[in-house]
Amino acid sequence: MAAMGLTQLRLDFDWSRIEPIEGDFSWTATDRIVSAARARGIKVHGLLTYTPAWARPPGTNEKHPPTRDADFANFSRAVVERYRSQGISSWEVWNEPNIPNFWSAAGGPDANRYATLLNASAVAIHSADPAATVVTGGLAPAVDTAGVSIAPGTFLTRLFATLDSGIVQGVAIHPYSYPALPTSALSWNTFARLPEFQQIVAVGEGRALPIWITEFGAPTGSSSSAVSTADQAAIVQDALSCLLGVSWIGPVFLYNMRDRTGGNPNDVEDNFGLLRADWSSKPVVAVLQTHITDPGSFGTGCAGW
């Protein structure tokens, strides 16, 4: 990552792994990664996620929200207290809470229920680091389906009608557009609707907040959802060209660094890497390096943004 010129990484601080037994914390894995990143001048953006068995209803999985928000808040505080001195100053609370893959509560995702969890966690984070940046959990592309999923715009409207004012400093979106280009004017294209989401937040919060792109990319491989490596590069180039210079866009994180070792080419999740499993570069790496060294060569901005 450092050799490629990348400056930040988004790292899971998974409660279900760090505190699998109440009060018994294991920091080995996150300490190792944070230390390695700091040694290379890479800033870490922390993702606070997922629930250990002791803190959720019996028979549920780790993607179920905790029984008590206070338990998650206590975990959030402990993480921030440990890593504040190691340069981590931004925190994202939960991942994709608008879809059942990552919010597995009975009845499906619930923006109001997520708001209470976010409120509790944000208060705890700011108690440990008053200057911390708290970002809402990155929302996945989705449509409104009762009891199943909530579209990002709907989720944000409900969230900011409930959320305590001033509690967050940014809003995260995962605006995947593949197989289409991000700037394609398609009704389902989450990326093309980013200006709409920015306005929803500004109205609901009463002030403008930056939109963080905490996941974006496209899978290669051989699944029916995969794109070619050339198309993966074109999708990333189109996105970066559009986002460049947009004042309300925060950091952009590409998902993910490397294809899964021993992964299945037919499994979408195994093949989002900028690098192949053998560490060889896909064409998207050249796009990134050009963006870093000569961003204007791609053109700048999207019409109307």
Quick one: average pLDDT of 4-29? Answer: 97
Place of tokens 């008590």: 68
Lowest mean pLDDT among 105-109, 142-146, 234-238, 291-295: 291-295
Cα distances from 229 to residues 17, 248, 298, in angstroms, run 34, 30, 19
Lowest mean pLDDT among 172-181, 227-236, 242-251, 288-297: 288-297
- pLDDT tens by residue, 17-59: 999 999 999 999 999 999 999 999 999 999 999 999 999 999 9
206: left (phi over 0), alpha (psi -120 to 50) or beta: left
- How confident is residue 296, by pLDDT bands cut at 50, 70 and 90? confident
Q: Which backbone phi and psi does 93 adopt, to 5 degrees?
A: -100, 105
Position 299 scores a pLDDT of: 72
Dist. CA 175–CA 181, nearest whole Å: 11
Quick one: average pLDDT of 110-117? Answer: 98
Quick one: average pLDDT of 166-172? Answer: 97
pTM: 0.96
Quick one: average pLDDT of 208-221? Answer: 98
Using alpha carbons, select from 158, 245, 248 the residue that is nearest to residue 195.
248
Position 143 scores a pLDDT of: 96
With 90 as the cut, is the pLDDT of residue 228 above it? yes
Dist. CA 153–CA 198, nearest whole Å: 9
| Domain annotation for the chain: domains and CATH numbers | 8-298 (3.20.20.80)
Q: What percent of the chain has pLDDT over 70?
A: 100
Dist. CA 279–CA 202, nearest whole Å: 42
- How confident is residue 302, by pLDDT bands cut at 50, 70 and 90? confident
Position 17 scores a pLDDT of: 98
Q: What is the mean pLDDT of the chain?
A: 96
Place of tokens 């943004």: 305
Quick one: average pLDDT of 93-106? Answer: 98
Structure tokens at 212: 């963080």
Position 120 scores a pLDDT of: 98
Asked if residues 171 and 210 have their Cβ atoms less than 8 Å apart, the reply is yes
- pLDDT tens by residue, 59-91: 999 999 999 999 999 999 999 999 999 999 999
Using alpha carbons, select from 278, 262, 281 the residue that is nearest to residue 270.
262
With 90 as the cut, is the pLDDT of residue 295 above it? no
Q: Which backbone phi and psi does 248 adopt, to 5 degrees?
A: -95, 10
Dist. CA 9–CA 1, nearest whole Å: 9
